[in-house]
């Protein structure tokens, strides 16, 4: 399959589950390349990563205005992949919200929900707090990126690269900071929330509130570190995903069989 939205770093046609990864604000699909190589996930899980417009090979495309539009288009892009194998979603920060919104859209289809939803470094969508990072000056925005730690410092020191990065980051921050969840029934799929114990953007109580967004099992995993704790805990994150999917895939297969 060839689609501008989806990257397959290591195709695994024999894998039982496809794990779709959603990047953070300003992030790209390549952020999840190391996860796709994880020996913990192979060979049972094929990792796909979403590539948002405006970055890397899609840098000349129009930036999207908000989370709902992005979620609609990603849902469409995932249709060819929702065939004989269940999907699971992993999203970090803004990506956690997008993964959740896509899961909600799929829940309208019989057996369409993912077999597992992993939400990282983000408060529950029911807890709205309007942010102002997107209103900062360019210099202040670069400072915010340095503090968060998710961007290669070499990029932030290169004026030519910054000229490409800043509009994308500002647009993504605007999208997530203005996002407001439209109340809807809880999902049925398991939700696992992951967070760093020193993440200023995702206090533990706010992360635990994801529990309210599913009638299925809920798990909380706390790692040492800040907002980008997963940069140094990739093996631990992969272990959490693998353990949860082994049970979730069986439940999902049973639900889809009953829906037909």
Q: What is the set of active-site residues?
A: 93, 227
Rounded Cα–Cα distance for residues 251 and 258 (Å): 11
**45 in Cβ contact with 242 (< 8 Å):** yes
As given in the structure block, the two tokens for residue 105 are 């859209």
Q: How many CB atoms lie within 10 A of CB 58?
A: 16
**CA dihedral for 237, 87, 246, 96, sign (positive or negative):** positive
The order of strands in the sheet holding 191-196 is: 6-8, 45-50, 17-22, 87-92, 116-120, 191-196, 218-223
As given in the structure block, the two tokens for residue 181 are 């969840």
């Amino acid at each position: 399959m060839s689609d501008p939205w989806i990257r397959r770093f290591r195709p695994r046609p024999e894998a039982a589950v496809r794990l779709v990864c959603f990047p953070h604000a300003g992030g790209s699909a390549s952020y999840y390349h190391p996860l796709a190589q994880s020996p913990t996930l192979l060979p049972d899980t094929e990792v796909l990563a979403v590539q948002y417009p405006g970055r890397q090979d899609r840098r000349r495309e129009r930036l999207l205005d908000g989370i709902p539009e992005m979620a609609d288009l990603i849902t469409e892009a995932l249709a060819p992949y929702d065939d004989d194998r269940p999907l699971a979603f992993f999203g970090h920060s803004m990506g956690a919200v997008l993964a959740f919104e896509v899961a909600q859209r799929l829940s309208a289809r019989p057996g369409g929900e993912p077999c597992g939803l992993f939400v990282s470094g983000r408060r529950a969508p029911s807890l709205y707090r309007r942010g102002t990072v997107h209103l900062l000056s360019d210099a202040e925005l670069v400072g915010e990126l340095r503090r968060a730690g998710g961007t290669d410092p070499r990029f932030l020191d290169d004026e030519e690269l910054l000229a490409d990065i800043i509009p994308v980051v500002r647009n993504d921050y605007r999208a997530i900071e203005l996002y407001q969840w439209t109340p809807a029934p809880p999902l049925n799929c398991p939700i696992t929330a992951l967070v760093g114990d020193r993440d200023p953007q995702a206090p533990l109580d706010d992360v635990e509130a994801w529990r309210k967004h599913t009638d299925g099992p809920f798990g909380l995993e706390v790692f040492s570190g800040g907002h980008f704790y997963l940069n140094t805990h990739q093996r631990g994150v992969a272990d959490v995903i693998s353990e949860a999917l082994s049970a979730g895939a069986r439940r999902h297969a049973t639900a889809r069989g009953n829906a037909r």
